[in-house]
Amino acid sequence: MFEDSIENVLQFTRPILSATRSYAGALSAGAATIFFVNEEGVAITCKHVADLLIESDKIWQKYEGFKEEKSRLVRGNMLKTKLSELELQYNFQPETTIQLLNTFQNCFDKISGFSIQNHPTLDLAIIRFTGFERKLYNSHATFVRQNKNIRIGKTLCRLGYPFPEFSNFMVNPASDNLEWTNAGNPNTPVFPIDGIITRFVGENNEIVGIELSTPGLKGQSGGPLFDQNGLIYGMQSMTMHLHLGFDIKDLEIETGSGKQKISNYPFMHVGRCVHAHKITEFLRQNGVKYYEEAELS
């Protein structure tokens, strides 16, 4: 049903790959999604994703400040105590992120920078890229038209990059810096998931979102919501956890190892997407060119 539309949507959908380093030295891979709305290097994603892009510089500056103060500690019997005090001052725990390295994969030949415009209330952000000479994305989103009657029960699809497999990063011990490398796997697979519209999300007496019967997965944040023709109906934002009420407590069951008591508190996980009409409204307000489905003649 979605084979052709997935291929079309992938022409303008790209991953943000993120490598994270903790204070204890653990490295991990993560991802999010953007998609381009025109041929001018303008994309959209979630506000919470854009905030992490901004936060990455602050995280690194904080660690640089910590290293500078640490280098001034005098070696001796009190070094361990002084270091513990400094860690407490900076609120550094073993799991604290001290570096977050991001890259926009297969978007451009190069960029000199980007700017972010966050929506004041919705989980939506515009990213404008600068300094590129050649685009590596091949198309752009086409949004469902404003007067389209979108109904509950319609099947739609989302895609993004929830299961990162890239491994091309490491800490350079000479510079104490997390870096991208030419070794390891540089790619991560796309993952689509479909569902039907279950409800519309309202705010201030207007529809701002679409709920799907299936969850949006981590890494799909910022990814497009589309129909079998590739028309964009929204953008994946978050997943809600609805308590079903079919709770089980201390139920005795027979297992291969004998009788056991189990408890279970089931939830239904549903995806929430920013509505296409709110996306195009925000693009218009910020003077961003976009494309919309043609009116039926």
In this structure, how many other beta carbons lie within 10 angstroms of the beta carbon of residue 23? 17
**DSSP line for 218-270:** TT-TT-EEE-TT--EEEEEEEEEEEE----EEEEEEEETTEEEEEEE--EEEE
Residue type at position 236: Q
CATH of 3-292, picked from 3.10.520.10, 3.90.1640.30, 1.10.357.10, 2.40.10.120, is 2.40.10.120
Place of tokens 């990455």: 56
Domain coordinates in residue numbering, the chain = 3-292
Is residue 187 a contact partner of residue 166, using CB atoms and an 8 Å limit? yes
Q: What is the pLDDT of residue 296?
A: 55
Cβ-contact 212, 233 below 8 angstroms: no
pLDDT for res 297: 46
Q: What is the mean pLDDT of each run of 10 residues along the chain (297 residues)?
A: 97 98 96 98 98 95 94 81 92 96 97 97 98 97 92 97 97 95 95 98 94 96 98 97 93 87 94 97 98 77
pTM: 0.92
